Amino acid sequence: MNEMSSPVPAPTGKAEATLPWWRGAAIYQIYPRSFMDSNGDGIGDLPGITARLDHVAALGVDAIWISPFFTSPMRDFGYDVADYCDVDPIFGTLADFDALVAKAHALGLKVLIDQVYAHTSDDHAWFAESRGSRNNPKADWYVWADAKPDGSPPSNWQSVFGGPAWTWDARRRQYYMHNFLTSQPQLNLHSPDVQDALLGVARFWLDRGVDGFRIDALNFTMHDPQLRDNPPAPPSDKPRTRPFDFQLKRYNQSHPDIPQFIRRIRSLLDEYGATFTVAEVGGDEADTEMKAFTAGETHLNSAYGFDFLYAERLTPGLVCAALAGWPDEPGVGWPSWAFENHDAPRALSRWWAGEHQAPAARLKIALLCALRGNIILFQGEELGLTQVDIPFDMLQDPEAIANWPLTLSRDGVRTPLPWEAAAHAGGFSSGDPWLPLGAENIGRAVDLQEHDAQSLLAHTRAMLALRAAHPALHHGGAACRAEGALLSITRTTPEEIVECRFNLSSESLELPEAVAGTVLASVNGAQGRHLPPFGALVVRR
C-alpha cells in the first residue's frame, strides 16, 4: 500500500485549558444498528458499542455521537420516537446505556446523543392522547387543522419523503401535519407545554451523564400557525425527484421563533456546565439559520449543514466557500463539518471511483482534519468504506423504497461495520445482519488494518493526532485559497502557523514554490513543490 503520511512530530501542546473541550473537537458518529451486534440478532446494540469503544478511543477522537436508540417502532429507524426516556429493547436497556457512558468516560470520550424535537412516532403516548379529542390536555401538542371546505388538506405543504405533509385522522376529523413520514406527526413547539416536556427529556439524559446533544432537523421544529401555502420554487438545474423539491419551504419550517426555544435549551445546558450541542440544519436557508441558531453565548454551540454531505464533487471552491461562511469574528458561531453521515451516501463513492479511491481516501481524511471547526467522522470512514449497492428486495429505508431508484441511498451508507474479515458477517454479528456488509467493505475490516502502519486506519489516527497536537489545526483561524485543483488552507494561532496544500485532482501539480518549514505530514508522496495525484502537505512554518 502506498505511503500514508510522514511520522507525526511530537505534540506541541493540545488546546489551551481555557477553551471548552468541544472547540475544535473530533467527533465519531455511531449508528447503533450497524456498529456491533452483541446478541446475534443481526442488529447492532448498546452492549456492542460498549464492547468496541476501545477502537473509537484509539482513533484519538474527543467524543462519540450516538444516533437514536430510543423506544421506537423503527419505521424511520429510531428517528420516530415512541418514548424519549427509554431504550428500545433491540438496543438494550437503560442499564446498558449507563454502562456505555461509564466506559466512554473512562476512556476519555464525551458522549453526545440525538434529540428529535420536531416530531414523534404516532405510537407515542402523547400522540395517542392528542388524537383522542379536540379538548384533552394534549390536544394542541401536535399540529392539527381542519380540512378546507372541499375536504383537501389545510395547505400545500409537502413532506420530505414524498406526498402531502398532511394526513387525515378520523378520530379528530382533522388533518395532522408531518414533515417526514405519515407515522411521524409534527410536534407543536409553539406550545410552552411541549417545550417544557422536551426540556424535561433533555434533563433526563443530562442527569444520566451525557455531555451534550445533536439536535435533529432543528429548523423543522416550528411551522407557520397561519398555515400559508408555500410558494413554488424557481426553475433550477437540480433534478426534482420529490414534490418537496418543487416548493420554497417558507412556511412549513424555519419559523423565526425557533431561536427563542434554542435559548431555553442553552439555559438548561448551562446548568450542567461544560456540555455541547450541535444542530443539524438543512434546506434552502441553512446558512442564515445556522448563524441565528449559534449566535453569541445564548444559543447553541455549533451547527452543521450539508455543504459536503450531498456534494457531487469535492472541489477547492466548495471548501473555501464553506469555510468563508464561518469567519473568525465576534458573534459568529462555531461550525461543525462532516463529509459522511447516516443520511448521505459515502463520500468516497460520490467523489471518486476505481483506482482513485484509495489515495483520495487519505487526502480526504487529511483535509477533514485541516478544517476550522469541529469535525465529525461517520463510523467506517476511518476504514475507507464505500457505498454498498442494496438491491430493491433488501431495502429497509422507507425513503429509499418510496423514491426508488432516485433515492438518497441511505441504506447503502448504513451497512454494518466490518470488524474481522474472515468471520461470519465480517465479525459484526453471529447472525444474519440486517443489511449486507458488501464484499468490498469486508476487505477493509478493522483486523486487516489494525497492525498495518500503511493502512487508512493508521493514517486516520496519525492525522487526528496531528490535529490534536497543533493548536493552529485544532482551533486556529483559517484562510483558504482555491487555484484550479490546488486548495491552500492556512491555519493560525499566535503561537504557530500551519500551511496545508491539497491537490484535489488525479493529475500531478507543481506548487509555485516550496512551503518553508517543518513537514508535519506528507500524503501520497507529496514533497517539496511536487503534489502527486491527491497529494497533500502539512507544514509548520
Query: Where do we find the cell 434546506?
Result: 283
Catalytic residues: 216, 271
Q: What single-letter DSSP state applies at residue 244?
A: G
| 324 membership: H or E segment, kind and range | helix 316-324
Residue 364's H or E segment, with its range, is helix 357-368
DSSP 8-class letter at 312 = S
Report d(CA 328, CA 2) in Å as an integer: 37
Provide the greatest CA pair distance for the chain: 74
Q: Which three cell numbers stand for residue 112?
A: 453526545
Buried b (16+ CB within 10 A) or exposed e, 63-96: bbbbbbbbbbbbbbbbbbbbbbebbbebbbeeeb
| Contact indicator for 73, 60 with CB cutoff of 8 Å | no
Bridge-based pairing state of the strands 166-169 and 174-177: antiparallel
Distance CA 314, CA 317 (A): 9
Q: Are residues 281 and 289 in contact, defined by beta-carbon separation less than 8 angstroms?
A: yes
**β-strand partners of 480:** 489
- Cα angle vertex 185, ends 116, 137, to 5°? 95
Find out whether 183 and 121 touch, Cβ atoms under 8 Å: yes
Nearest to 45 by CA among 28, 76, 65, 67: 67
Q: Are 100 and 50 in contact (CB under 8 A)?
A: yes
Peptide bond into 231 cis (omega under 30): no
H or E segment and range at residue 264: helix 258-271
CB distance 235 to 269 below 8 Å: no
Distance (Å, rounded) from C-alpha 419 to C-alpha 380? Answer: 10
Counting Cβ atoms within 10 Å, is residue 352 exposed (0-12), middle (13-18) or buried (19+)? buried
Residue 18's pLDDT is 83
Residue 196: which H helix or E strand, with range?
helix 192-207
Is 26-120+191-468 a CATH 3.40.50.11540 domain?
no
- Check residue 128 and give its pLDDT: 98
Q: What are the backbone angles phi and psi of residue 60, rounded to the nearest 5°?
A: 95, 20
CA dist., res. 320 & res. 326, Å (int): 10
pLDDT at 4: 46
Q: Rounded CA gap, 50 and 395, in Å? A: 28
Q: What is the CATH code for 476-540?
A: 2.60.40.1180
**What does the pLDDT read at residue 409?**
77
C-alpha cell at 368: 477533514
**What's the half-sphere exposure (Cβ side, CA atoms, 13 Å) at 210?**
21
CA–CA separation, 34 and 431 (whole Å): 13
* Residue where the block lists cell 456505555: 100
pLDDT at 11: 45
Task: Render each residue's pLDDT in the chain as its tens digit; 541 residues.
Answer: 344 454 444 444 444 558 999 999 999 999 999 999 999 999 999 999 999 999 999 999 999 999 999 999 999 999 999 999 999 999 999 999 999 999 999 999 999 999 999 999 999 999 999 999 999 999 999 999 999 999 999 999 999 988 999 999 999 999 999 999 999 999 999 999 999 999 999 999 999 999 999 999 999 999 999 999 999 999 988 888 889 999 999 999 999 999 999 999 999 999 999 899 999 999 888 999 999 999 999 999 999 989 999 999 999 999 999 999 999 998 899 999 999 999 999 999 999 999 999 999 999 999 999 999 999 999 999 999 999 999 899 999 888 888 788 777 799 999 999 999 999 999 999 999 999 999 999 999 999 999 999 999 999 999 999 999 999 999 999 999 999 999 999 999 999 999 999 999 999 999 999 999 999 999 999 999 999 999 999 999 9
Query: Which grid cell sits at 254?
Result: 424555519
- Crossing angle, helix 192-207 and helix 258-271, to 10 degrees? 30
Residue ranges per structural domain of the chain: 26-120+191-468, 476-540
